[in-house]
Chain A
Amino acid sequence: MRGDILTNILLCGVGGQGIVLTSKLIAAAAMEKGSPVRSAETIGMAQKGGSVTSFLRIGECHAPMFGEGEADIMIAFEPAEAVRELRYLKKGGTAIVDTHPVMPVTAALTGGGYDPSVMMEHLDKSGVKVIALDAQALAAEIGSPRTMNMIMLAAAVRSGVLPFDIDHVAEVMKKTVQPQFVDINMKALYSVTV
């Protein structure tokens, strides 16, 4: 855990994966600790399936976005999106990456599919600390594919880069999600041990 210094977080993935929601939960957890928070989302014209990023900053700063090479941690919900946004991660920064690929919706038309292992290999040799997990599969094991974002968040918290621990996130989650989803989200948050 870190103290009162600025933490820059980049979340990325594709529309519909719950990135904006995760970003808001991290913000709520930081605010609960009394830290100032700023964030910005870049969402294209696509409602679903387009690239989505969320810049999140915990600590004193002026702008909601930061520049390339300034993220302490990247939480990538998709391997190709991790490579696309890698430029924002600082040297030696932490990349939490879901290895499960999401093919572009136009792949059938254009033949624009890709091999996720190529993306993971590229990340591994790019001088950042990669924590890879198949959050999709873990979420399915828990019994709800929609908890994938909680699993990603848990992995990020366990890495120690965020300025709070998993119990704190769990407390804030309980206050923000609808009561019927609390149990399954708790299960997801505590399922990640690495």
Chain B
Amino acid sequence: MLPFPGKDDDMHKEYLMGNAAIAKGALAAGLNVITGYPGTPSTEVLETAAKAVPDIYVEWSVNEKAALEVAAGASYCGARSMVTMKQVGLNVASDPLMSLAYVGVEGGMIIMVADDPGPISSQTEQDTRTFAAYSKLPCFDPSSVEEAFAMVADAFELSEKYHTPVIFRPTTRICHGYASIDVPDKDEWYVNKPKGFERDTSRWVIFPGLSYRAHMAIEERNRALSADSYKGNLIIEGSRKGIASHGISAAYVREITDGMEDAPTLFKVATPFPFPEDRAVEFLSSVDEVMCIEELDPVIERELTYLCGKHHLPTVIRGRLTGDVHTAGENTPTYVKDVIYRYLGIACPEEDVPTDAPKLPVRPPVLCAGCPHRASFYAVKVAMRGKKTVFCGDIGCYTLGNAQPLDMVDTCLCMGAGVNIAQGIGRIEPDRYCFAFVGDSTFFASAVTGAMNAVYDQADMTLVVLDNSTTAMTGHQPHPGTGRTMMGEVVEKIDIEAVLHGAGVETVVTVDPFDLEKAVNTVRCIADLEGVKAIIFKSPCAVITKPDKPYVIDKDKCVECRACIRRIGCPAIVISDGKTVIEPSICVGCGLCGQTCHLKAIVPSEQ
């Protein structure tokens, strides 16, 4: 059953971001349920699909584990489901994922995991292709926006055929690349009607016996998939020199070698796991040497090296493991060209790059003007000045609290880690004031359990929740503290203070960080209490709040001490013609600077 007949008059052109193409591909293939947790570069898949509400169910879940479980439950009922996350989110979802691989699904289920070579906006450079092999799940790896669109339907079909969840793994350049592609008209979309849950304890209840039998079946299935190559695994015939690649790198390779005299033979791997063995052997037999160009792990390189041994092939395999390709970071078009030219012995044209390039301004990311996190960090900084402290940070906009002049992030590991890192530090250094800063979305995602751990195991620390009532970093998605869902419902908010009380934190104080004096005094009082105590700094994200009147500097009072700049580092305070001024187009009137000026020289403007 093909969802698209593919006739031209049933298609139209759309200029789509890769993530939007993945969402539309899923909708066109009968998507019923999509869940996820926001994370760059994966976020826009769910946001695009959400436009199909109420025809489908959409949920920004509390974290990736919950998201995967909701999607799995829907799939048990025969729904076509998709769960979206970034690569580090898969770590959170790995517990249900590993078991689900054994139990399997009924309706097609795609685990959409976006990888981030570079990394451009992530903690790690992990490769989900490797995770696919570890979890033994089939993996699709698109190399263009249009391939991503079409591949989603194939992934659903494979998932249903083998009753297994499948992994769909684009990288940033696919997710955030755009292309004008052919999309089937809406009346051509496949509609999937879930048949409902059918009780079968031998199927849905995981027990050692089931796992043993499932393990054997999985290995057998993967052997079959390895022999039956997916149509996206392409060989483009050329010389006795080969290049094996995948994803966006395959697009770069194709473009660089297109029209070359004596062009190399290309092998594009669209299903890295199970590895397309027969197709790979066909490729290996046609070349003497192969350069593997991959992001990020040497997945293809290892497989080809293994296959050469297994099939007694003399083909030389090169890539990351042989030092021919860098071991970390993104493959840019320029870098891929460099690797290919070196490999093929093509002289790179000498670039007479001017060496006298002027020094360029650095534009580092900073907390926005009016960001409540700036006020919160500053309050804690002032309150704890001169004391032995550690400030454990977390994942979100507030990681930027590490920048000068705030300099308020001593550690940052992964979502929700700060609270228990602080607990651990406190165990070794009881005389240190241990603080953990966590945003509201991250709090719900994974700091709640950490807080319970700290309370029950008698930690001595201060938990600071930076509650800006949104998931700001990824574009303001709802979470349980926001009072709205992706289905458009207005619902009861889950109160962070009540959650903390419930978790056994006795002292929880909510304070507006822009009331600086009160905020500082609160921190001073709370920090000296024993046990786990919490401060909730509550103030909405400046980006989604209507700006107030901008502040101005009273020239008669200002002595150009520039303490405001050195203390809070707000991007709205600039130096113009040697004078400190507030840029009215940037200032949102939060008033923090006015509270830090001991001469009271910063005041609200009259306008």
Interface residues of A (CB under 8 A from B): 14, 24, 27-28, 31, 36-42, 44-51, 61-70, 80, 83-84, 86-87, 103-110, 112-114, 118-119, 122, 125-127
Interface residues of B (CB under 8 A from A): 13, 15, 120-121, 144-145, 173, 176-180, 248, 251-252, 254-255, 258, 332-334, 336-337, 351-354, 356-366, 368, 400, 404-405, 543, 562, 565-566, 569, 571, 573-575, 580, 586
Contacts A49-B366, A126-B354 known; A27 to B360 CB distance under 8 Å?
no
Chain B residue nearest to A101 in the complex (CB): B361
7 contacts between A and B (CB under 8 A): A31-B13, A39-B178, A46-B364, A49-B366, A62-B258, A106-B363, A106-B571
A68 and B335 CA atoms in complex are apart in Å by 9
Contacts of A61 in B (CB 8 A): 255
Further contacts, 6 of them, CB under 8 A, given A24-B15, A64-B178: A38-B177, A49-B571, A63-B144, A63-B173, A105-B574, A126-B354
Of B254, B332, B354, B368, the residue contacting A48 (CB under 8 A) is B368
Determine if A105 and B363 form an interchain contact, defined as CB atoms under 8 angstroms apart: yes
Shortest distance from the beta carbon of A7 to any chain B beta carbon, whole Å:
14
Contacts of A70 in B (CB 8 A): 333
Contacts A38-B179, A108-B565 known; A125 to B354 CB distance under 8 Å?
yes
Determine if A106 and B180 form an interchain contact, defined as CB atoms under 8 angstroms apart: no
Closest 7 CB pairs of A and B: A105-B571, A64-B177, A46-B365, A67-B333, A63-B251, A45-B365, A67-B334
Determine if A28 and B361 form an interchain contact, defined as CB atoms under 8 angstroms apart: no
Determine if B178 and A84 form an interchain contact, defined as CB atoms under 8 angstroms apart: no
Determine if B334 and A37 form an interchain contact, defined as CB atoms under 8 angstroms apart: no
Contacts of B356 in A (CB 8 A): 122
Contacts of B566 in A (CB 8 A): 109
Determine if A46 and B255 form an interchain contact, defined as CB atoms under 8 angstroms apart: no
Shortest distance from the beta carbon of A13 to any chain B beta carbon, whole Å:
11
Contacts of B404 in A (CB 8 A): 109
Of B176, B337, B565, the residue contacting A41 (CB under 8 A) is B176
Contacts of A108 in B (CB 8 A): 562, 565, 573-575, 580
Determine if B368 and A103 form an interchain contact, defined as CB atoms under 8 angstroms apart: no
Contacts of A37 in B (CB 8 A): 15, 178-180
A132 and B353 CA atoms in complex are apart in Å by 21
Determine if A84 and B144 form an interchain contact, defined as CB atoms under 8 angstroms apart: no
Contacts A67-B334, A104-B363, A114-B361 known; A40 to B580 CB distance under 8 Å?
no
Chain B residue nearest to A113 in the complex (CB): B361
Determine if B351 and A69 form an interchain contact, defined as CB atoms under 8 angstroms apart: yes
Contacts of A83 in B (CB 8 A): 357-358, 360
Contacts of B351 in A (CB 8 A): 68-69
Determine if B573 and A62 form an interchain contact, defined as CB atoms under 8 angstroms apart: no
